[in-house]
């Protein structure tokens, strides 16, 4: 069995990694860190893992990583991963970083959007971008992968076929996305109190300031071969997990819904974790919750000559930990579906 370490294992993404990895046929979790919970048993913090993981959280020590692991996930917040990734790479382990610290090649872009100094600038541009369906061969060949953000995952998978086939204009794309409360992480805040969130929808970081915008635009531009501009509006909704993105793009010419669906079917032919729905069918958050699947539904507004794309993912799985395991499987030469063959939790 391959030994897996998780740095920052007490948050939601770290907890999801452990929950998914205990069912993986080829790996075992051997080392977990959480500086706020040093000495605490994993199952005391995450009671769903009681009797399944006997480890306790440790303080991060790169020497322990080298001795106890063959592969490492870094599940620390933005701005914290850059403090540990250099030492991990120097130790020779393969790793996936789930923060935004290494998704960009340009230090100035990171610092401008994330509003903090990047202290490991020499590593920028060294990580493969871990969107498995689009960068599979690059991920297989890499020892260092930057896992995509949750919002970009849903948006890029939804837009990639249309941009690749030159069906839509590359500017003026509108992405309107609802996310569940787990996207904010485990740290408590007033706006996430039950009485504030329940039966409610709120908006945040409007006006082109969300840090996922440059990630979306950079990766979509690689697909389109031209500069891509998006208007992105995130909303917090009263469900625990999921991202539901409704995307609007102007068609370059009159195109039937049947032809668009044919393009999407061809683009994702053979892809297990992306499901293009039939004409007249649209995704639901419940249908992907608890799974590594992305569902895509498509409509054409003939009056405005506009393409409407809807995607749904579980933000903690396909948007984070599940996609990270999918990438790990590619990096280690394992079956891509290992540990991830679960359907959505409905109802």
Nearest to 32 by CA among 77, 78, 64: 64
Nearest to 320 by CA among 174, 202, 146, 61: 146
| DSSP per-residue letters across 31-88 | EEE-GGGTT-BHHHH-GGGTTT---B-B---HHHHHHH-SEEEE-PPTTTHHHHHHHH
Give every strand in the sheet of 71-74, ordered side by side: 27-33, 2-7, 71-74, 94-97, 144-146, 128-129
Within its chain, how far is the Cα of 321 from the centroid? 7
Q: Which two tokens stand for residue 213?
A: 């915008």
The span from the CA of 78 to the CA of 289, in Å, is 25
Nearest to 144 by CA among 196, 186, 224, 90: 90
> Is the Cβ–Cβ distance between 168 and 252 less than 8 Å?
yes
> Is the Cβ–Cβ distance between 148 and 323 less than 8 Å?
yes
Distances (CA, A) of 49 to 53, 76, 233, 280, 294: 6, 20, 35, 40, 26
Catalytic residues: 150
> Is the Cβ–Cβ distance between 75 and 10 less than 8 Å?
no
Q: Which two tokens stand for residue 177?
A: 């996305």
The pairing of beta strand 144-146 with beta strand 94-97: parallel
Nearest to 104 by CA among 87, 132, 125: 125
């Amino acid at each position: 069995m391959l030994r897996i370490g998780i740095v920052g294992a007490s948050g939601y993404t770290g907890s999801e990694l452990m929950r998914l990895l205990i069912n993986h046929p080829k790996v075992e979790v051997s080392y977990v860190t959480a500086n706020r919970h040093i000495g605490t048993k994993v199952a005391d913090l995450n009671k769903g893992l009681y009797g399944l993981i006997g480890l306790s959280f440790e303080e991060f020590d790169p020497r322990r990583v080298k001795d106890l692991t063959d592969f490492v996930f870094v599940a620390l917040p933005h701005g914290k991963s850059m403090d540990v990734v250099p030492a991990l790479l120097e130790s020779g382990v393969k790793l996936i970083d789930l923060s935004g610290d290494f998704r960009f090649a340009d230090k100035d872009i990171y610092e401008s959007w994330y509003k903090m100094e990047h202290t490991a600038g020499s590593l920028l541009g060294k990580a493969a971008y871990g969107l498995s369906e689009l960068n599979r061969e690059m991920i297989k060949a890499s020892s260092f992968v930057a896992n995509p953000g949750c919002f970009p995952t849903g948006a890029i998978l939804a837009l990639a076929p249309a941009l690749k086939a030159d069906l839509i204009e590359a500017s003026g794309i509108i992405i309107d996305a609802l996310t569940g409360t787990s996207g904010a992480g485990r740290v408590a805040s007033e706006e996430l109190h039950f009485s504030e969130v329940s039966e409610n929808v709120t908006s945040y970081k409007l006006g082109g300031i969300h840090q996922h915008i440059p990630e979306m635009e950079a990766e979509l531009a690689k697909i389109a071969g031209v500069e891509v501009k998006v208007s992105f509006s995130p909303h917090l909704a009263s469900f625990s997990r999921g991202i539901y993105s409704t995307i609007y793009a102007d068609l370059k010419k009159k195109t039937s819904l049947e032809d668009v669906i044919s393009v999407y079917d061809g683009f994702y032919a053979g892809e297990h974790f992306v499901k293009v729905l039939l004409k007249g069918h649209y995704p639901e958050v419940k249908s992907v919750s608890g799974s590594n699947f992305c569902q895509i539904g498509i409509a054409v507004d003939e009056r405005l000559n506009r393409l409407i794309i809807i995607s749904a993912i579980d933000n903690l799985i396909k948007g984070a930990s599940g996609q990270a395991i999918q990438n790990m499987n590619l990096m280690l030469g394992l079956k891509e579906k290992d540990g991830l063959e679960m359907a959505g939790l409905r109802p």
